[in-house]
Amino acid sequence: MKVIIRENAAEGGLWAARHIAARIKEKAARTAEPFVLGLPTGSTPLATYAELVRMVKAGELSFKNVITFNMDEYVGLPEEHPESYHSFMHKNFFDHIDIPKDHIHILNGNAPDPEAECAAYERAILAAGGIDLFMGGIGEDGHIAFNEPFSPLSSRTRVVTLTQDTREVNSRFFGGDPEAVPARAMSVGVATVMDSREVMILAFGPKKARALASAIEGPMSHYNTVSAMQNHPAGIIVCDEAAIGEVKVNSYRYFKAVEAAEG
Ligand code: PGA
C-alpha cells in the first residue's frame, strides 16, 4: 500500500479530493462508462467533500457521469433524521453537486427485508460494473465502514451490531448519549470494499494513530478490518502527521521516500 502523509487534515483532505477528481477525469478521457465511487460519512471526509463541491461550482469537475455507493446506514433511524447517513450525504455533498439523483445509492436502513436490501446492494454494485474507487475512513477500533472487530475479511453487505466503543464515539452526534446511537447498522462488507479497483482510506488526528499503525504494521486480521488494505493491489492511505504518529520511524521514512520518488 501507498501512504501519503500531509501536515494536517485540511491538506490531506485536499490531496484526496484532487485524487478523486483526477481519477474521474482519467476514466472520462478513455470511456463513456460512468465512474463508480464508494463514499463514507463521518468527520474525516468533510474537507474532501468541501473541495469537490468547490471544484464542481468552479466548473472544474462534474459528477453527471458518476455513480455513488455509500458505505453504510443506521438501522431503524428515519431517513430524514438529521444524523441519518442519508441526511449527512445530502447536506454535505449531494445537494451541492451536479450528480443525477438516480446515480446515488445509500442502503435503506428501514427496509422491511434487511437481508434482501443488502443482497440487492451487492447486485447493484455489480450491475454498475464494480467500484472504481472506494474512499473510506478508519474507526478508532480499526473498522472500515461498520466492519467492527471480528468481522470476516470476506464479509459482504449485511446488518451489523455496533460495538459499544463505536456508539460512544458517535454519541457526539446524538446529544452525548451512546444509547441514542442505533445499535445496528447496514454496512458493505470488507470484501465489498476490497473488490474495488482502488481503495483510499483517510485517517486524521491522534485518535486514529493506534488503529492506523496496527492496520499498516500489524498482521492482517479481523481484529482491525482496515488491515485488509495490506492485501489490496491498489490501496492508498491518506493521513496527517498526527494519525501516522504510532508507526516505526523507519516505516515513516520509507513512506516519505516512496512519495518523493513516485508522487
Ligand atoms: P470519523 O469516523 O470520520 O467521524 O472519525 C470514521 C469511521 O468511524 O470510520
Distance CA 245, CA 26 (A): 33
Distance CA 245, CA 15 (A): 19
- Alpha-carbon radius of gyration of the chain: 17
pLDDT level of residue 107 (50, 70, 90 thresholds): very high
Distance CA 70, CA 247 (A): 30
Q: What is the pLDDT of residues 182-224, one digit of tens each?
A: 999 999 999 999 999 999 999 999 999 999 999 999 999 999 9
Residue located via cell numbers 504518529 = 245
Q: Which atom of ligand 1 is nearest to 143's Cα?
A: 9
Distance CA 234, CA 130 (A): 15
pLDDT level of residue 112 (50, 70, 90 thresholds): very high
pLDDT level of residue 149 (50, 70, 90 thresholds): very high
Q: Which residues pair with 200 in a beta bridge?
A: 135, 236
pLDDT computed for residue 13 by the predictor: 98
Using most ligand atoms within 8 A of CB, pick from 41, 43, 44 the residue to mutate for ligand 1: 44
Pick from 257, 194, 203: nearest CA to 228: 194
Residue 98 designated active-site:
no
Strand segments, DSSP code E, in 204-258 are 235-240
**Are 149 and 142 contacting, i.e. CB atoms less than 8 angstroms apart?**
yes
Ligand 1 atom 1 nearest Cα: 42
Q: 19: CA distance to ligand 1 center in Å?
A: 20
